[in-house]
Amino acid sequence: MAHERVLRFLCQGCWLIGILHVPDEPLTRGVLIVTGGPQYRIGSHRQFVLLARHLAAHHVPVMRFDYRGMGDSEGDMRDFESIQDDLEAAIGEFFATMSGMQEVVLWGLCDGATAAAFHAWSDPRITGLVLANPWVRTEQGEARTTLRHYYLRRVRDPEFWRKLARGRFGLIPALRSLRQLAVAASQPATQVEALPERLFQALQRYRGRILIILSGADLGAREFMALPLQHAHWRALLGARRVQQAVIEDANHTFARQTWRDEVADLCTRWIRAW
């Protein structure tokens, strides 16, 4: 059994709103859910509510919240690059409210996962990271992923050729788009501050445990999956004993079906309670 309560706490002069899920017999390890934007604490198809309740039913205390400019919280809207103060405030409130809690896991989706990783190395209380479809978007990476996992699938689909034969497919615009993607994919990665490299540096500095959950049918997840295939330093990082990965085949970006959500919740529960 668990009960839920509303939290109201300050971040840089703005009031933030959160929901705390408190089990009757809570573990000393809690989970703070970091939403991907623009999104608020409930999540797509109530994903974060359902995940929090599942974890709380297994004795894991959970907090989910709206950072500044989202949902019921005050302030101007901000992106994942600008929520470090919000995370610090939420973690502080979580520990203050759950007096018996000794450590916390940050659970993030998409750019929320990347924001969580950017923050985790700086706080020793954060002993675990769950990164669901972490955001590593670059123009080059997006182009390569689209070519490999969208266009290649299309040309293998018999329906594509039937539409083309019947004149129901815009061949010229498609070829123009294909050419643009090919040019983008062939460009060298010259950005020193490219997002994948920044995420690598953050995870390298972080010494805690990491669980990475990837959706098999999500192009963003596919872009992340390409990193260890292309870069030795990513292979070394993801091959470390402290890192565990799971791929949910056919799942979309937000794990929209109940069976996918249940698999994510079960994975997280077993991982959090295993160490």
Q: pLDDT tens, 160-214?
A: 556 556 665 565 665 566 566 466 556 655 444 599 999 999 999 999 999 999 9
Buried b (16+ CB within 10 A) or exposed e, 32-68: bbbbbbebbbbbeeebbbbbbebbbebbbbbbbbbbb
List the strands of the sheet with 126-132, edge to edge.
Answer: 2-11, 14-23, 62-65, 29-34, 103-109, 126-132, 209-215, 243-248
Among 20, 60, 69, residue whose Cα is nearest residue 40: 69
* pLDDT bucket at 36, cuts 50 / 70 / 90: confident
Among 81, 93, 88, residue whose Cα is nearest residue 17: 93
